[in-house]
Amino acid sequence: MIPIKKGVLLSCITGLSAAFAFPKISLFFLMWAAFIPLFYAVCKADKFQAALFAFIAGYVFNAQTNFFLISTVYLFSEVYAASVLFYLYFCSYFAIYWGIWGWICAILRDYCKNGVVFIILSSCVWVILEYIRAHILTGWPWLIIGYSQYEFPQIIQTAQYCGVYGVSFAIMLINGLLYLGISNKKKAYIFSAAALFAVLLIFGVYQYDKFKNFGEEEHTVVAVQSNVEQYKKLDNAYRAEMFARLEMEAEEISKIKPELVLWSESEIINLIPVEIESYILADKIAKIAGGFNIIGAPYLTGDNRLYNNLFYFDGRGGYSSMHSKNHLVPFGEYMPLKNFFEKYTNLVNQFDDLLKGTDTNVFTDKTLYVGSLICSENLYPSIVRRFILSGAKVLTNHSNDAWYLNSSGPHKHFCANVFRAVESRKFVLTAANTGVSAIIESSGKIASQTKVYESKLLSGKFRQNDYKTFYVLYGDVFVKFCIFFLAAFFLFAAYKRFVLNNENKTKL
């Protein structure tokens, strides 16, 4: 048994190391060894202690990586105590998944005599829990450990087949093999970990080179990063200033003569088409800028249903098509238990009570075929897959991350775009109000990007393609394989125990 103090210390080392692998610190290489201390603590403890140590590691990890949520929640609640309580609850809830992993690993350790099989199974458990966390209770796909490698595109090329979960699996597997090598003093395990990493890297370099400049002829894009503070977006007193800024940006864009112009989510905060002044402005800036314009704005239907929308303006008058956001953010775009929370918070977010869209409309002028994602939709590969299966040849992501201020939040949101590019082998073009706006190639290379809180018109080239990857066609097959492998092991263990018990009874 491991002493409690030692177990807690090792858990904290894992939590901090894993957290430091994410932006803004971005020491992504730490993730490949971050879980060695936690493996040691879990494997030397009983089931309860293993769950406790893993929970502590998870809490430390989430406390560091989600600290930006305090200021974000305060922006729309205006109650600091409520913001801190929400943050503490948030960290505790997501640490539970780590605790469950520790508890299951302790059970696997008792049933599994083969160290390598144990590590494979524990990696499967990790992937399954990440997948559950990403989907249950509307889902929170942020901070999947594979995302930490977004600045190391050569190592994430397996995402074309396995998605981000395959990268998470590889990270846990290599951490586990290194733990076995260190704890058992057997170099064979360390060599195995090094060989696996080398195979991933060699394969990744080959795929990375293969998909550089992949696609048809080049097109020109401008992504608009207006850099408007959130309080100005929500205050009609600044409407004239906002409108003048947009017209000025459209004039600058017209000089570049791009084929595609991307404006951010809620670039025009006022309702379209109900508020005629805003609708006229959207049409006007599209005509001035020229080309294929995708503009974010709230959409109010004739029967008062409110959606978070993107509109395709072709510059010939009015919008030709629109997309309504498929996945809404709780406490940001709709309020669960609204009557309860309104007693304790002063809600100022006018995107409250949005309705969920279901379409995956591809914007097209018969030359460009654009699948456009609104903000957090980029965190859900299933939505991306539907766009591509509907005919999208290039992906765009339109965000308003001003809610996160100049924190690590915009960077943690942005990193998912790199994985969507590799999974789908499509260029991903991002336009974010305060950043990060970028052009990401189908290889996962970030060709260019902006800084957060920078006003910029980001211009560059992109290519389209109609290639459909294994992941686009079949989705999270790898996660299903992990579930099958884990279930098969437990069924085999149960069968083996049943047979042994019967044999013992027969002998008696």
pLDDT of 350 reads 44
State the Cα–Cα distance between residues 284 and 317, nearest whole angstrom.
8
Asked which of 41-45, 116-120, 350-354, 484-488 is least confident by mean pLDDT, the reply is: 350-354
Asked which of 17-21, 155-159, 244-248, 316-320 is least confident by mean pLDDT, the reply is: 316-320
pLDDT of 165 reads 98
For residue 280, pLDDT beyond 60:
yes
Q: Comparing 111 with 53, which gets the higher pLDDT?
A: 53
DSSP 384: H
For residue 448, pLDDT beyond 70:
yes
Q: Are 415 and 428 in contact (CB under 8 A)?
A: no
For residue 178, pLDDT beyond 90:
yes
pLDDT of 413 reads 97
- The pair of structure tokens assigned to 456 is 């910029």
Average pLDDT over residues 355-382: 97
Average pLDDT over residues 458-465: 98
Q: Comparing 190 with 336, which gets the higher pLDDT?
A: 190
- pLDDT (tens digit per residue) in 244-271: 999 999 999 999 999 999 999 999 988 8
Q: Are 30 and 23 in contact (CB under 8 A)?
A: no
For residue 295, pLDDT beyond 50:
yes
State the Cα–Cα distance between residues 206 and 210, nearest whole angstrom.
6
- The pair of structure tokens assigned to 379 is 């965190």
Q: Are 378 and 424 in contact (CB under 8 A)?
A: no
Work out the mean pLDDT of the chain and round it to a whole number.
93
Distances (CA, A) of 224 to 143, 231, 313: 27, 19, 15
pLDDT of 341 reads 56
Comparing CA positions, the residue from 368, 392, 394 lying closest to residue 292 is 368
- pLDDT (tens digit per residue) in 15-68: 999 999 999 999 999 999 999 999 999 999 999 999 999 999 999 999 999 999
Average pLDDT over residues 338-345: 57
User: Of how many residues is the chain composed?
Assistant: 508
pLDDT of 502 reads 67
Q: What residues are paired with 440 via a beta bridge?
A: 428, 446
Instruction: Give the CATH number of domain 218-472.
Output: 3.60.110.10
Average pLDDT over residues 157-183: 98
Question: pLDDT-based confidence at 105, cuts 50/70/90?
Answer: very high
